[in-house]
Structure 1
Amino acid sequence: MKLVVRAKLLPTPVQAAALEATLYACNEAATWAAQAAFEKDARRPLGLRKHTYAEIKERWGLGAQAAQHAIKRACDAYSTLKANLRGGRYGRPGSKRYTRTSGKPVVFRPEAAQPYDDRMLSWQHQTRTVSIWTTAGRLKGVAFTGQAEQLAVLADHRQGESDLVRQGGNWFLIATCEIPEKTLNAHPVGFVGVDLGIVNIAATSDGERYSGRRINRKRENDRAVRSKLQKRGSKSAKRRAKKYAGKEARRNKDINHKISKRIVAEAERTGRGIALEELTGIRERARLRKPQRTTLHSWPFAQLGSFIAYKAKKAGVPVIHVDAAYTSQECSQCHHTARSNRPSQARFACKVCGFVEHADHNSSHNIAHRGWMSWVRGARSTAPALTLTA
């Protein structure tokens, strides 16, 4: 399976200037190649190369491999655009948006990612440096850093191209790694049920709860600050609002990584699979008071599910998605279902058998049971091979 590892570069000011000039030159060349492809209707690499290769090398001073990448990026962009137009992303054929999008050449952002193959980039893992091509010549000894676990994966499993990107004033190399998958556990002894929610981001059938109360309070404060900044409307206020939004997204991602890691590790340790509720339509199904709707709509539940899925795939743990309808009203002991079984958000009390449990744990037991029944009936694991940041 594929994982993406992001290594942070630590260039000197001179090296950073060379990287910036290279990124701008490569994207300008790719934009020019895309315009030539549009005008000459040459949207395949071989045909476009005849019209653009020599001039790209001479005009922007790109090397042979960099020029080839600029041409390929332009062709790939048109392939993606064609697929999006066909899929209806830009409206129906003949609509204003469709006509406007298809009637002009593709343009690349000045700081768009630039691919590097092994001829343009080499890694020295022992010294944690890279040698990288630029328009100012080859830079040697550019330091990089990252988490120890990610750097070990990078050293052992990196394959193919790496992308040079600049984000927030920092430089990164994003490398693709091919990780060997463990053999899927075809005979799990049971399933860990995972119930997703607002008060508790996730609750498992093992009794674990990952509370969201403190996180939600912090997110509410961040939203209030962003709202004030947006109302102010100045350039500095907009920059600060964007900074707050990025900070919240990184914090949410980190929390989802930690939760998914613990859930998968416990399932692997005990020889069980993982049962998740089907997230499709969760926003439409949930009936919440107005203050809670923003919290539900802004928390990346799909991201948490995808993190669990790819970590499970890596560990050989089967994952089953089940219909979570009425799991909060169904008794996990006698399976009597009634709305009155849940008198409050946190409390479940069955009206028939008298079973009392925390409501989220009761739901997670029902999800685990449905996952097991689906597996017994022959359902296959739904943990896909994903391309995600490790």
Structure 2
Amino acid sequence: MQVKLLPSPEQAAALAATLRACNRAADHVSQTAFQTGIKDRNGLQKLVYTDIKATFGLSAQPAVRVVKKVVDAYGALTASLQAGRLGNPGAKRYRKAVGSPVTFHPEAAQPFDDRGLSWQTDARTVSIWTVDGRMRGIRYVGSPDQLKTLAEYRKGESDLVQRGGKWFLIATCDLPDPEAYEPSDWIGVDRGIVNLATTSDDTNYQGRRLGRYRRWQARKRAELQAKGTRSATRRLACRAKEEQHHATHVNHRISKEIVSVAQRTGRGIAVEELDGIRERVRLRRDQRGTLSSWPFHQLGQHLAYKARRAGVPFLHVDAAYTSQRCPRCGHTERANRPDRDHFRCRRCGLAGPADHVAGVNVRNRARSAWVFVTAPVLAPA
């Protein structure tokens, strides 16, 4: 749960100095971990704990949090390497990642536990440790739902974040998941590029507007990259964040509406399992950038967590041939989809928008899968 801090100028200066000190210490710890090969929390803490307290002016708990942040960063790097997200061991990105220590931006987020940061939810203030001493009475604001969730369910660490000159706290909240109801039916969701999402109810969320926005951003990126100046590089980073935030907002809006319809009608939500789509699909050169940057996975994630919070059943189903299979007679062949937008069964003549047909197939597979999942297990005779 994210809330916005409203520090005074003196408090903001102390927070900024704290982030810089913590991230300098994190760079030092990372360098030590890289040189020694010790990347477990206890072993690394024994090596650097006294040093970073004396050198960077950290007290006990911030020093411990810095070590944990470094250990988590190396853990995330190892997971990315094992998952192949940085290519094979001979790839340039892979060699660069393993050939130098992890570094931290001077304004990177810093985690605090309840000893370093305390919440006064009634007064809507926080007290936080800084390199200039304990700062008390820093006000925070948020929506009524955010503040209620924070007061009832906050648990564990909170991250201090600075973005665009503004200060935020991101608190971990442990919300209980409501029990999912027994669905009366399913809403099948087909995800795509031209249409971001099409449901089995024939509700269509078109991606043309988002596509135009991203093509415009691509042209602007090319112009800035051609300049090659430092200011152009900074502007490129800003544009990348703007584009990411815009796509995330669109996915939030779509997923919220689909989950709301499912909850109101007592149905579940089913989506195609698209893991590995970039490896399976062959594309023309002009399509590769679009597919690699399109937020398919994020839309599925938003649907999953919003459904879980609303108690709506959620399923992933097999994506094979959902756009080529006739939902009426079951006939499957590539010729059933003569082009991107249209479906026409070569056997029974069923015709309609291709994405809607795919959504219906996803719904039908969810019906079969749910029967299998909920079927009683019979004991052997």
Corresponding letter in the other structure for 1:366: N
1:118 to 110, 114, 118: 114
- The offset of 1:122, in angstroms, is 1.9
Residue 330 of structure 2 is aligned to residue 335 of structure 1: yes
Counterpart of 1:316? 311
| Number of corresponding residues | 375
Distance 1:206 1:308 in 2: 16
TM-score (norm 2): 0.85
**What is the DSSP-based 3-state SS (H/G/I as helix, E as strand, rest coil) of the residue aligned with 2:373?**
coil
Counterpart of 2:320? 325
Corresponding letter in the other structure for 2:349: G
Deviations 1:162-214 (A, max 9, x none): 011223333221211101011133x3222110011122100001121111112
- The offset of 1:19, in angstroms, is 0.8
Relative to 1, partners in 2 of residues 1:118 and 1:336: Cα closer, same or farther, differing over 3 Å? same
Counterpart of 1:188? 183
Deviations 1:235-255 (A, max 9, x none): 222222222221110000011
**What is the DSSP-based 3-state SS (H/G/I as helix, E as strand, rest coil) of the residue aligned with 1:324?**
coil
Counterpart of 1:369? 364
Distance 2:201 2:114 in 1: 47
Counterpart of 2:209? 214
2:269 to 271, 274, 278: 274
Deviations 1:248-305 (A, max 9, x none): 1000001111111111222222222211111123235546555444333221101111
Corresponding letter in the other structure for 2:352: E
RMSD: 3.2
Relative to 1, partners in 2 of residues 1:140 and 1:346: Cα closer, same or farther, differing over 3 Å? same
TM-score (norm 1): 0.84
**What is the DSSP-based 3-state SS (H/G/I as helix, E as strand, rest coil) of the residue aligned with 1:141?**
strand
Alignment of 1:134-153 (within 5 A): 134-153=130-149
Distance 2:38 2:228 in 1: 44
Relative to 1, partners in 2 of residues 1:131 and 1:331: Cα closer, same or farther, differing over 3 Å? same
Corresponding letter in the other structure for 1:262: E
- The offset of 1:96, in angstroms, is 10
Alignment of 1:220-299 (within 5 A): 220-286=215-281, 290-299=285-294
Counterpart of 1:200? 195
Relative to 1, partners in 2 of residues 1:379 and 1:201: Cα closer, same or farther, differing over 3 Å? farther
Percent sequence identity over aligned pairs: 53
Relative to 1, partners in 2 of residues 1:204 and 1:85: Cα closer, same or farther, differing over 3 Å? closer
Corresponding letter in the other structure for 1:249: Q
Q: Which has the higher contact order (CA 8 A, sep 6+)?
A: 1
Relative to 1, partners in 2 of residues 1:125 and 1:105: Cα closer, same or farther, differing over 3 Å? same
Stretch deviating more after TM superposition (39-48 or 123-132): 39-48
Counterpart of 2:379? none
Counterpart of 1:64? 60
- The offset of 1:355, in angstroms, is 2.7
Counterpart of 2:298? 303
**What is the DSSP-based 3-state SS (H/G/I as helix, E as strand, rest coil) of the residue aligned with 2:173?**
strand
**What is the DSSP-based 3-state SS (H/G/I as helix, E as strand, rest coil) of the residue aligned with 1:294?**
helix
Corresponding letter in the other structure for 1:172: F
